[in-house]
Structure 1
Amino acid sequence: MATTTLLFRRNLLRPSAFAKPTTYRATRFQSTLPHDRTLITPAELDAALKSNAPSKLSTAPKTVPVCGTWFLPNDPQKRNGYEVFKKAHIHNARFFDLDKVADTSSPYPHMLPSPEVFQEAMCDLGINRDDTVVVYDSAELGIFSAPRVAWTFKVFGHPAVYLLNNFKLWVEQGYAVEGGEQGKFERTQYPTPQLDGSRVSGFEDVRNVAFDHNKEGREDVQILDARPGGRFKGTDPEPRPGLSSGHMPGAVSIPVPELLDPETKAYLSPEQLRKVFEQKGVDPNKPVISSCGTGVTATVIDTALAEAGYGDGVRQVYDGSWTEWAQRVQASENLIVKSE
């Protein structure tokens, strides 16, 4: 099977989740947000919230801020996403818990949830199918886990999804924040979605790509890795004890900081992102699988690729990423590469 076909193969472990997505008709309303991009500025979000703010008195589609803050398990400050949310968040924001809106039966962390789990989360958070969702990260990290939440919405076919670039600038530029617990929202009747499998890679897909590395005629699919360079090379440990570091054969290292402005922690401009990918030798016309530690920061790469105009329509995220990979590959397969 050619690698270009392989990239779109369905995950046989969860066939129902990878059915063709249902098309929904969203209610049309006047929005101030652009229709041709995902990243928006604090000023654009502020204008959208003033134009289409959530209201108990109106059932019209609204702009809903969603906090996707999450921290690594070895975070030196022992921070917790919801605790950070309680300190400062946008008015009427919902907190999306990556560890709970997930496949909790999986041995791997925050794997994509079932359509039913995603639906229930949307109902609990008071989000309608025709609402515009704007996902944001913590002021501490700038851009980190929010792209994963935005990607999850897109995987389940939510029509209007944006990513704030970023909450750090929102705070620094003086836009309003508030503290306290998440509010209580009136439950909605969010329809059961179907997962778009064309956006997701499973273990067997990536394993076959890795096996095909350096074989003549099998160099179509590119694997990009968002982890820090030391973990990619195998010289630094993984944050999860007992897990080998290293990388997949043929993978390209693109650590998250290389895609962000060092001061603002916002995404670089599309032109700057294209330059990063060019320097890494990424072909804009070939399919891409993005990977990381657990499928979170892989979506930082996926979003950057979209902004740079790379791999349009043929971009996937390896959901299990390195945590699944390092536990499932066999030593005899030589699929963990370590390099100086």
Structure 2
Amino acid sequence: MAASSLLRTSFHHPRSFVSQARPLIGKPRVIMASKRAYTLDSFLVKPAELNEALKQNAPSRLSTAPRIVPLCASWFLPNDPEKRTGYEVFKKGHIPSARFFDLDAVADTSSPYPHMLPSAATFASAMRALGIHRDDNVVVYDSAELGIFSAPRVAWTLRAFGHSGVHILNNYKQWVAEGYPVEEGEQAPVEATNYPEPDIDAGKVVTFEEMREIARDANKEGSEGVQVLDARSLGRWKGVDPEPRPGLSSGHMPGSISVPVPELLDPETKTFLPAEKLREIFASKGVDPQRPIISSCGTGVTAAVIDAALTEAGYGLAAGRRLYDGSWTEWAQRVKPSDNLILKSE
């Protein structure tokens, strides 16, 4: 599904902006322009908090305040045994007024690697079609089946393009379990917006060339001490289990640390573990919060789960955090055997 056909748009009404303030994530936001107020106090949003915020922020053409927009980011691996797709799951049930973000369509489709970051023009076009304004508060969420999986990647993408009001629902599985409203069917038509073409924050992304130099210097005396966290399963990291993509060698980069996604989530609810528990997990793996961190995975999706967990845990805020967009799919195809940059261990 192309980005331009993500939804049907109705006629456009001009919108005036009373406030252009864009607070940082984690700070309460109070808008009084339309005689009502709402706040989203944290990066991870609980279902009860989102439900209350949506009730206080009922859609209105008269309001000039930034809105709260639920954004479904459901996505499944190509080898999903049930052959599920994100939009099919969206149609079976979604938060009322939610829009659907197609992770495969809003991407650099010219790249040989899946769902790489889109161009600024492609991103802006998708946001316009989704009816999202630059100052809207977007709450990204996953499928009830997976709990937390691809939503952090979409949230990270929005932040990489400078959209400041971004949160993650923790999570839609709990939203459904706690009995909050759910709608079925196609995404409702929305008004297209005039979302401006943004600049990408290059400081959030790592290229293959830089990643290769970091791996070559790993564990050498005098290296800058960049930490690489790998979200794939321990078996794939060790090289004893195969990659889901045929012909791709498993293993890991020199100096990388295995941080499988399931370790960061509650096994029953699939929500992120509490911040204190996340800090304990990262500390137990030797991750230093004062040193730079790069997150990686199979294709750049679940690497963002690690990044979101680091945000919640307060890790790497000063030293900096980045994501290797191409991740293992690019790495295993581009490094040469003679480089000795794919390691395996028992």
Q: Residues 135, 83 of structure 1: CA spacing in aligned structure 2 closer, same or farther, 3 A cutoff?
A: same
Residues 1:46 and 2:48 are matched in the alignment: no
1:266 aligns with one of 267, 271, 279: 271
- Aligned match of 1:296: 301
- Aligned match of 2:327: 321
CA drift at 1:237: 1.1
Conserved? CA contact 1:54–1:63, under 8 Å? no
Residues 1:85 and 2:90 are matched in the alignment: yes
2-side partners of 1:190 and 1:242: how far apart? 41
Conserved? CA contact 2:70–2:97, under 8 Å? yes
Conserved? CA contact 2:153–2:301, under 8 Å? yes
Give 3-state SS (helix, strand or coil) of 1:273's partner: helix
Conserved? CA contact 1:147–1:300, under 8 Å? yes
1-side partners of 2:271 and 2:207: how far apart? 29
2-side partners of 1:338 and 1:90: how far apart? 43
- Aligned match of 1:332: 338
Q: Which amino acid aligns with 1:324?
A: E
Conserved? CA contact 2:31–2:38, under 8 Å? no
- Aligned match of 2:147: 142
Residues 1-340 of structure 1 mapped to structure 2, 5 A cutoff: 25-26=20-21, 29-30=31-32, 31-35=37-41, 37-56=42-61, 58-313=63-318, 314-340=320-346
Deviations 1:45-99 (CA, angstroms, capped at 9, x unpaired) = 0111111233455453211000000011111111110000000000110100000
% identity of equivalent residues: 67
Conserved? CA contact 1:53–1:63, under 8 Å? no
CA drift at 1:132: 0.7
CA drift at 1:131: 0.8
Q: What stretches of structure 2 of length at least 5 have no aligned partner?
A: 1-18, 23-29
CA drift at 1:183: 1.1
1-side partners of 2:85 and 2:64: how far apart? 33
How many equivalent residue pairs?
Answer: 316
Q: What stretches of structure 1 of length at least 5 have no aligned partner?
A: 1-23
| Range 70-79 or range 58-67, more displaced | 58-67
Q: Which amino acid aligns with 2:127?
A: M
Deviations 1:248-273 (CA, angstroms, capped at 9, x unpaired) = 00100000000000010000000000
Give 3-state SS (helix, strand or coil) of 1:61's partner: coil
Q: Which amino acid aligns with 2:311?
A: A
2-side partners of 1:141 and 1:63: how far apart? 23
The TM-score normalised by the length of structure 1 is: 0.90
Deviations 1:163-196 (CA, angstroms, capped at 9, x unpaired) = 0000000000000001101111111000111100
Q: Which amino acid aligns with 2:39?
A: L
